[in-house]
């Protein structure tokens, strides 16, 4: 029977007190540092029991981790599951050593416990081996330790903190679990064997081959105990400052998920900002320093596991630009750790309320990175820990635009156009209905009680390419006999570009104007051909008292087809591909409606490798459409178009269908599209062409409209 000596027990308790207090100082400092963050404008703690339950479920099942890299995620699950169970294992081992009792496999619960511990020990060691090889000996691992030369990285990263931290954490877990397995080998020898501990039995056989004496078996038990549990005590202070802290911070991050009415709030919704602070003696909008970010988003830095999935999904990173969402989050943690100081240092002034010494744009990211973001939301979608990198960048943009007056010069004309003319093109409102010339489109004044209010949007009003989409869509509604109207000259820009480029003041002016207009109209249903308009009106106008039923035109057309008000005959042939717009798919979850319409027309869909929630941005979002793209290895739109070309290259008629006017414009203007002859068409355009070829429309008293065509 194994039991610690009195001296060992006293030493263990003393070490637990010393190292535990050391770790507690670090944990308390981290907590205070996170609490320095700004107050969140959204309620992150409503229905707390439900939040905690959901967070524990996500943590234990590793659901978000398994969204990508299945084999690596499986290895991680083995390590996580084993390490979680080891909370019980370590407690039982300590109790055995202190009180001399024995958990054998002679009872069902003892056998179940020993078998679980043994198998999970094997899972941990096997998973660590795989992750160690990937991290330190593979190309993917090398990328995890290196960033684009254009990317700003913290001094600690330059000094090798990331690989050093990974090596220390991996070495600790391997040593801790290995020593515990070593001790179980001695225990199995003492028990005379144990079928319920196959890995420990293998170690026991190796030890037994050396012909150990009874005294050496006891020594082995003591050495393995101190190696296993003693190493935990020594590691505790380092744990708080390592990436390993994500074991706990991830669960808290999950619990603080953005929600509305109990449902997860999509990445397409930007948090509300109260502009009344601009009238105060100390006006402050957006984020200039760490403490200007919300506490939840300071916690993001400690939840980050340095997996670089956000970086791999980022279109800016993929095209060689300075922005790396991963480097940004790691930079935040490195700076926070430097601000909480060492245990022997006096309590740092930052924890007492003093401002942090450096602005975010000096250590977290550079200006070039800030304006490279397309707000596509890929980083937030793929992040296994539910970090909110994109929202941080928008807050930093808000500070730059509204407080510092610093932003890309091309945006000035865009802001002026929205402010003076109600559209980023800067074209007069008197031209807003020119797109409908010859179509007899009713305005809300002419048809004050429509079933559908068609929100045309600035692109479809002023951009010639997008005008083809709006013309196609209204002809389809005419063909289906839809009772619809448009706002006409009273329609104004939704402000999507203003908000996402940081001009919150301009955005709120536009939003309040449009909400007043829409509330006066009281629409039954708003349908938009632009996902950016759909997202803003449907998801963000509720922040200003505008609550409307809003739908994308592909979803509405699908309902018309299913209700047999439209019939898209199968005149299509061959395969075409479909590009998922970020603001339709990733931000709003609309994936099936456009695909259903395409297959209804008789086409086969050739799925892109990066599709649905993994779709690659066209490069227009976040104000990019209106400015020069940041320096990099390639344009984002070219990257996407090259993938499209490869997918449709063998087709007789090379076509990519889209559901966003900005995607259409970006993709068809690329050199890759022009060289290959790929046609970029909106789903509505394809559908109208299909019906014109069939010359048949169901459920309409205006069949001649569709048949007449629109040249």
Q: pLDDT (tens digit, 9 = 90+) per residue, 640-653? A: 999 999 999 888 78
Around 332, how many Cα atoms within 13 Å sit in the side-chain half-sphere? 33
Lowest mean pLDDT among 9-13, 78-82, 415-419, 569-573: 569-573
Q: Which residue has the tokens 């019980």?
A: 88
Average pLDDT of the chain, as a whole number: 91
Contact criterion met (CB below 8 Å) for 542 and 621: no
Summarize pLDDT for 16-36 with one digit per residue, the tens: 999 999 999 999 999 999 999
Summarize pLDDT for 133-176 with one digit per residue, the tens: 877 777 776 666 789 999 999 999 999 998 899 889 889 999 99
Contacts of 467 (CB under 8 A, 6+ apart): 435, 460, 461
Cross-strand partners of 528 = 455, 552
Q: Which helix (H) or strand (E) holds 557?
A: helix 553-562
Q: So what CATH class is 289-404?
A: mainly alpha
Helices 553-562 & 464-480 angle (0-180, nearest 10): 20
Average pLDDT over every residue of 426-449 = 95
704 confidence band (pLDDT: 50, 70, 90) = very low
Looking at residue 572, what is its pLDDT?
61
Instruction: Calculate the alpha carbon distances from 288 to 152, 155, 539 in Å.
Output: 16, 20, 27
Percent over 70 (pLDDT), the chain: 95
Contact criterion met (CB below 8 Å) for 435 and 471: yes
Cross-strand partners of 454 = 486, 527
pLDDT of 569 strictly over 70: no
DSSP string, 51-86: HHHHHHHHHHHTTTGGGS-HHHHHHHHHHHHHHHHH
pLDDT of 702 strictly over 50: no
Go through 536-563 and write b for each residue having 16 or more CB atoms within 10 A of its CB, e for each that does not.
Answer: bbbbbbebbebebebbbbbbbbbebbee
pLDDT of 701 strictly over 70: no
Within 10 angstroms of residue 171's Cβ, the number of other Cβ atoms is 14
Looking at residue 132, what is its pLDDT?
82
Q: Which residue has the tokens 């932003």?
A: 407
**Sheet containing strand 526-528, strands side by side:** 484-486, 452-455, 526-528, 550-552
Closest of 610, 576, 55 to residue 382, by C-alpha: 610
pLDDT of 677 strictly over 80: yes
Domain locations in the chain as residue ranges: 6-255, 289-404, 412-708
Q: Which helix (H) or strand (E) holds 260?
A: strand 259-260
Looking at residue 694, what is its pLDDT?
66
Summarize pLDDT for 314-323 with one digit per residue, the tens: 999 999 999 9
Contact criterion met (CB below 8 Å) for 522 and 448: no
Summarize pLDDT for 615-628 with one digit per residue, the tens: 999 999 999 999 99
Average pLDDT over every residue of 549-553 = 98
Average pLDDT over every residue of 105-124 = 92
Distance between start and end Cα atoms, the chain? 92
Summarize pLDDT for 534-549 with one digit per residue, the tens: 999 999 999 999 999 9
CA 230 to chain centre: 38
d(C-alpha 123, C-alpha 79), whole Å = 6
Q: Is 566 left (phi over 0), alpha (psi -120 to 50) or beta?
A: beta
Q: What is the DSSP letter of 153?
A: -
How wide is the angle at C-alpha 289 spanned by C-alphas 285 and 294, nearest 5°? 70
Give phi and psi for 118, each to the nearest 5. Answer: -70, -45
Q: Which CATH number fits domain 6-255: 1.25.60, 2.60.40, 1.20.950, 1.20.120?
A: 1.20.950
410 confidence band (pLDDT: 50, 70, 90) = very high
Looking at residue 591, what is its pLDDT?
97
pLDDT of 236 strictly over 70: yes
d(C-alpha 480, C-alpha 477), whole Å = 5
d(C-alpha 111, C-alpha 109), whole Å = 5
Q: What share of the chain is helix, strand, coil (3-state, %, to 5)?
A: 60, 5, 35
d(C-alpha 709, C-alpha 705), whole Å = 7
Contacts of 679 (CB under 8 A, 6+ apart): 653, 654, 655, 656
Tokens of 223: 């050495």
Tokens of 52: 């905690």
Beta strand 263-264 pairing with 259-260 = antiparallel
- Number of residues in the chain: 711
Average pLDDT over every residue of 186-214 = 88
Cross-strand partners of 453 = 485, 526
pLDDT of 119 strictly over 60: yes
d(C-alpha 246, C-alpha 253), whole Å = 10
Looking at residue 142, what is its pLDDT?
67
Closest of 411, 374, 405 to residue 389, by C-alpha: 374
Q: What is the DSSP letter of 276?
A: G
Give phi and psi for 658, each to the nearest 5. Answer: -135, 170
Average pLDDT over every residue of 399-404 = 96
CA 30 to chain centre: 24
Closest of 221, 225, 249, 260 to residue 59, by C-alpha: 249
pLDDT of 707 strictly over 50: no
Summarize pLDDT for 491-534 with one digit per residue, the tens: 999 999 999 999 999 999 999 999 999 999 999 999 999 999 99
- Alpha-carbon Rg for the chain in angstroms: 30
d(C-alpha 366, C-alpha 95), whole Å = 52
How wide is the angle at C-alpha 257 spanned by C-alphas 54 and 127, nearest 5°? 60
pLDDT of 697 strictly over 50: no
Summarize pLDDT for 254-279 with one digit per residue, the tens: 999 999 888 888 899 999 999 988 87
Instruction: Calculate the alpha carbon distances from 568 to 464, 481, 552, 604, 683 in Å.
Output: 25, 15, 18, 14, 12
């Amino acid at each position: 029977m194994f039991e610690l000596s009195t001296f060992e027990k006293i030493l263990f308790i003393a070490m637990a007190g010393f190292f535990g207090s050391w770790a507690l100082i670090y944990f308390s400092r981290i907590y205070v540092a996170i609490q320095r963050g700004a107050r969140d404008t959204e309620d992150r703690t409503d229905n707390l029991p439900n939040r905690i339950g959901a967070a524990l479920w996500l943590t234990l099942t590793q659901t978000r981790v398994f969204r990508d890299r299945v084999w690596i995620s499986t290895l991680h699950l083995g390590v996580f599951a084993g390490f979680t169970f080891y909370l019980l294992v370590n407690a039982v081992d300590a109790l055995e050593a202190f009180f001399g009792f024995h958990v054998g496999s002679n009872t069902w619960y003892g056998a179940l416990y020993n078998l679980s511990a043994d198998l999970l020990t094997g899972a941990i060691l096997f998973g660590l081996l795989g992750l160690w090889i990937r991290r330190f000996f593979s190309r993917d691992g090398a990328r995890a330790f290196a960033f684009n030369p254009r990317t700003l990285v913290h001094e600690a990263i330059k000094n090798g903190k990331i690989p050093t931290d990974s090596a220390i954490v991996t070495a600790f877990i391997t040593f801790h679990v290995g020593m515990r397995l070593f001790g179980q080998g001695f225990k199995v020898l003492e028990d005379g064997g144990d079928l319920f501990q196959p890995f420990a039995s293998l170690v026991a056989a190796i030890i037994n081959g050396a012909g150990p004496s009874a005294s050496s078996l006891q020594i082995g038990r003591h050495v393995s105990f101190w190696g296993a549990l003693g190493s935990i005590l020594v590691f505790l202070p380092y744990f708080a400052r390592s990436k390993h802290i994500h074991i706990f911070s991830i669960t808290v991050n999950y619990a603080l998920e953005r929600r509305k009415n109990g449902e997860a709030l999509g990445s397409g919704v930007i948090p509300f900002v109260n502009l009344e602070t601009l009238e105060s003696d100390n006006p402050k909008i957006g984020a200039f320093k760490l403490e200007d970010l919300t506490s939840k988003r300071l916690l993001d830095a400690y939840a980050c596991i340095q997996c670089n999935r956000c970086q791999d999904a980022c279109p800016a990173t993929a095209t060689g630009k300075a922005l790396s969402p991963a480097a940004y989050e790691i930079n935040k943690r490195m700076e926070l750790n430097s601000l909480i100081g060492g245990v022997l240092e006096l309590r740092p002034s930052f924890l007492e309320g003093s401002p942090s010494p450096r602005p975010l744009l000096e250590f977290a990211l550079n200006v070039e990175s800030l304006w490279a973001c397309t707000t596509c939301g890929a980083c937030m979608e793929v992040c296994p820990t539910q970090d909110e990198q994109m929202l941080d960048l928008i807050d930093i943009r808000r500070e730059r635009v509204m407080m510092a007056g610093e932003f890309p010069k091309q945006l000035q004309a865009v802001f002026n156009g929205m402010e003076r003319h109600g559209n980023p093109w800067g074209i007069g409102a008197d031209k807003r209905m020119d797109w409908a010339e010859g179509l007899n489109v009713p305005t809300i004044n002419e048809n004050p009680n429509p079933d559908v209010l068609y929100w045309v949007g600035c692109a479809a009003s002023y951009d010639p390419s997008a005008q083809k989409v709006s013309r196609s869509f209204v002809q389809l509604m005419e063909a289906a006999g839809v009772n619809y109207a448009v706002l006409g000259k009273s329609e104004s820009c939704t402000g999507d570009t203003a908000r996402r480029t940081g001009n919150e003041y301009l955005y709120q002016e536009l939003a309040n104007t449009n909400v007043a207009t829409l509330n006066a109209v009281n629409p039954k249903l708003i349908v938009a051909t632009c996902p950016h308009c759909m997202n803003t009106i449907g998801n963000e106008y509720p922040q200003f008292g505008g609550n409307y039923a809003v739908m994308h035109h592909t979803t509405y057309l699908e309902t018309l087809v299913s209700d047999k008000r439209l019939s898209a005959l199968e005149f299509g042939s061959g395969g075409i591909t479909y590009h998922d717009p970020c603001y339709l798919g990733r931000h709003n979850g609309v994936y099936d409606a456009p695909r259903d319409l395409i297959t209804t027309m008789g086409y086969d869909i050739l799925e892109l490798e990066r599709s649905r929630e993994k779709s690659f941005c066209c490069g227009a979002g976040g104000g990019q459409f209106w400015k020069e793209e940041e320096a990099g290895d390639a344009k984002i739109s070219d990257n996407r178009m090259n993938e499209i070309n490869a997918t449709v290259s063998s087709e007789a008629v090379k076509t990519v269908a889209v559901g966003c006017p900005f995607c259409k414009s970006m993709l068809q203007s690329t050199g890759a599209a022009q060289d290959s002859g790929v046609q970029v068409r909106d789903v509505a355009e394809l559908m109208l062409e299909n019906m014109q070829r069939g010359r048949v429309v169901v459920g309409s008293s205006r069949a001649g409209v569709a048949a007449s065509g629109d040249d």
